[in-house]
Amino acid sequence: MASFILRRAEPKDVSDILRLIKELAKFEEMEEKVVLTEKELLEDGFGDHPFYHCLVAEVPKEKSSDEYTVIGFAMYYYTYDPWIGKLLYLEDFFVMQEFRGLGIGSEILRRLSETAVKTRCSSMHFIVAENNTKSIEFYKRRGAADLSSEEGWRLFEIEKQDLLKMTSK
Amino acid sequence: MNFTIRAATREDCRDISRMIMELAVYVKRPDQVKISHEELERDGFCQNPFFECLVAEVPEEHKSEEGFTVVGYALYFYTYSTWKGPTVYLEDLYVMPEFRGNGIGSSLLSKVAEVAKKKQCVRLQLSLFDWNTPARDFYAAKGAQDLTVTEGWHFIRFDGQSLDNLANEAHSSSAEA
């Protein structure tokens, strides 16, 4: 049995958030791609123009085997669909391995959807790697649609060097 | 052909709304457009705008058959990568068919790239339907990678009833497992 709370992240949480970002990246076998620093996370999330919002899941100190009490997080922001308006976009969502199976992930997802409805968002979107079948099943069980399979949506990216090529005219 | 690219103003929202519908018709989903220029004015020109928009304008003498001088737009917003930092997400890029082939699309995209550079964004993302070959060719020529193909990313959505159902199950902040 474990009790936990969900709360909004505060500036003091950035080092835990970065730790969890790296753990999630490790799970996706992309750990070396995380170049973000605590300083950037702090400026980008808690400065004048926040680029993201974050929820953290915390357990009481005595329930944690090591010194960490922040054991899960969800990072999201608001995007815009010119057809339907505001959307909530879920960027990262992760619960530490040893704290899974306790309903923390489900509760985070419910809290996010409550936030989406309260802030007049028409839907909640995110991306998932197609080989991450466990996550895809988790979302589909809760009524999510896979737009890539069902409607043919593909994600494209133009990286910095190509962006710069377009600006040097 | 002479044209200018500039930041959209509140007054441009009717033109933008018109072109949003044209783009929706092109991607075969006109019935899915639920918002009008009113929501665009509210959401794009408030204190903390949910999007930014550039428009392409031609002089009077080059106006469209129906008399429009605002002939293209690019609508985008900022997102965040936990690996790399700030990102520009290009939601819509559209040029009216009779004005294509004049470099307007490329200019709109270049201007968005400039915005990305100014805001120190590390990349630009967008999504396309797999059947939209002209668009895929356009972006491929600018260096775009199809991450759905190369990395297997899929778009997932909760909306309507499934979103409501999920929200209605929310407990209080503390839960015993």
Considering only residues 72 to 131 of chain B, which have any Cβ-Cβ distance to chain A shorter than 8 Å?
A: 75, 77-86, 89, 91-92, 106, 109-110, 113-114, 116-117, 121-131
The CA distance from B177 to A100, in Å, is 11
Please give the pLDDT value at position A2. Answer: 53
pLDDT digits (tens, 9 = 90+) for A35-64: 899 999 999 999 888 999 999 999 988 776
Domain boundaries, chain A: 5-167
> When comparing pLDDT for B101 and A31, which is higher?
B101
pLDDT digits (tens, 9 = 90+) for B19-29: 999 999 988 88
pLDDT band, residue B176 (cuts 50/70/90): very low
Q: What percent of chain B stands above pLDDT 70?
A: 95
Which of the residues A42, A86, A157 would you substitute to probe the B interface, choosing the one with the greatest number of B C-beta atoms within 10 Å?
A157
Considering only residues 66 to 105 of chain A, which have any Cβ-Cβ distance to chain B shorter than 8 Å?
A: 75, 77-86, 89, 91-92, 102-104
Residue A1 has pLDDT above 60, yes or no: no
φ, ψ of residue B6 to 5 degrees: the values are -145, 165
To the nearest whole Å, the CA of A48 is away from the closest chain B CA by 11
pLDDT band, residue A30 (cuts 50/70/90): confident
The CA distance from B172 to A77, in Å, is 22
pLDDT digits (tens, 9 = 90+) for A94-125: 999 999 999 999 899 889 988 998 998 988 88
Neighbours of A102 (CB within 10 A): 21
To the nearest whole Å, the CA of B166 is away from the closest chain A CA by 5
Query: CB A147 to CB B83 under 8 A?
Result: no
Please give the pLDDT value at position A16. Answer: 96
To the nearest whole Å, the CA of B165 is away from the closest chain A CA by 9
Q: Which residue of B has its CA nearest to A5?
A: B174
Pull the structure tokens for residue B23. 């783009």
Pick the range with the lowest mean pLDDT from A5-19, A129-143, B84-98.
A129-143
Query: CB A143 to CB B165 under 8 A?
Result: yes
Are the C-beta atoms of residues B124 and B116 closer than 8 Å to each other? Answer: yes
Q: Which residue of A has its CA nearest to B144?
A: A158
pLDDT digits (tens, 9 = 90+) for B36-91: 999 999 999 998 899 999 999 999 999 999 999 999 999 999 999 888 889 999 99
Pull the structure tokens for residue B167. 């929200």
Please give the pLDDT value at position B169. Answer: 65
Residue A150 has pLDDT above 60, yes or no: yes
Query: CB A36 to CB B84 under 8 A?
Result: yes
**Geometric angle at alpha carbon A120, from A118 and A124, rounded to 5°:** 90
User: Given this structure, which CATH class describes domain A5-167?
Assistant: alpha beta
Q: Is B131 exposed, middle or buried (0-12, 13-18, 19+ CB in 10 A)?
A: exposed
Packing angle between helix A14-27 and helix A38-46, nearest 10 degrees?
110
Any A CB within 8 A of B160 CB: yes
